[in-house]
Amino acid sequence: MSVLHARRFESPIRALIIACLVAIIGACASTPEEEGKTAAELYGVAQESVRNGNWDLAIKNLRRVQARFPFDPYALQAHLDLISVHLQRRDAEQVVLEADRFIKENPRHARVDYAFYMRGLAYFPAEQFFLNSWFDVEQAAFDVTPASKSFQYLRRLVEAHPNSEYTPDARARMVWLQNLIARHELHVAKWYMRRGAFLAAAQRATDLLRDFPESDCQAEALELLVLAYRELGLTKLADDAQKVLALNFPDHKPTLTFKRRNERWMDWIKDIFS
């Protein structure tokens, strides 16, 4: 057999061998009671543990369905359920790992969009939303890396499956995430301004305006950019930014005030001797 033919058959044969080994191992690990169960019955046992919220047992039972009946439709459903269980456990890495595997192995499955959607939910910052709602915590001050990951995964769902039943919710979450990330960038830019790092502040504001053109803090970012440019002595750039602000947000009222570094020192000295 030529090298070309060998390579052609290598992948399917290898996959079949692996599947058979998995089935053998699963059968060896089964109890006598489970050996006589059908795929539907074994899946029912797994579902019972899911309904009871016993996540560790649910994972074990769902994996058993996959191992005992690797080519059965119940194995595919068990895989999807496994993704959901990992989400319930707030194990983002495992959610993405299992979802990626499902997408790779079943790219044309009717519910592959669900795997795309679950990847987006894996890193969705639900805890931060809770804190912000109940304790008035400024979310922009938190690390937004999970939010960025969530946004990217949700965008892949929207792009790959625009007609999915999960796409409307994904779009709504993306708007919220975009505003959250943009507010974080503005938060950092303000931090730089307060410390007199005007060039860094201007760069952050510029990146925000470019990367998040539909966010709800565009006007404030432009205002900050005007102030940063003026502090840097870049009068023309400051004037241009001011014109863009006035043209796009004519009703915007200035909200930002930053003192020069020497003025902040004077205030500090006055407080000492007052």
In the chain, what are the domain boundaries?
1-89
* Alpha-carbon gap, residue 226 to 231, rounded angstroms: 9
Residues 219/220/222/226 CA torsion (nearest 10 deg): 140
pLDDT in tens, 249-263: 999 888 877 665 554
pTM, two decimals, is 0.74
pLDDT in tens, 124-182: 986 555 445 433 445 555 688 999 999 999 999 999 999 999 999 999 999 999 999 99
The amino acid at residue 130 is F
pLDDT in tens, 3-37: 333 333 344 455 445 455 444 444 444 554 556 78
* Alpha-carbon gap, residue 72 to 39, rounded angstroms: 7
* Alpha-carbon gap, residue 51 to 54, rounded angstroms: 8
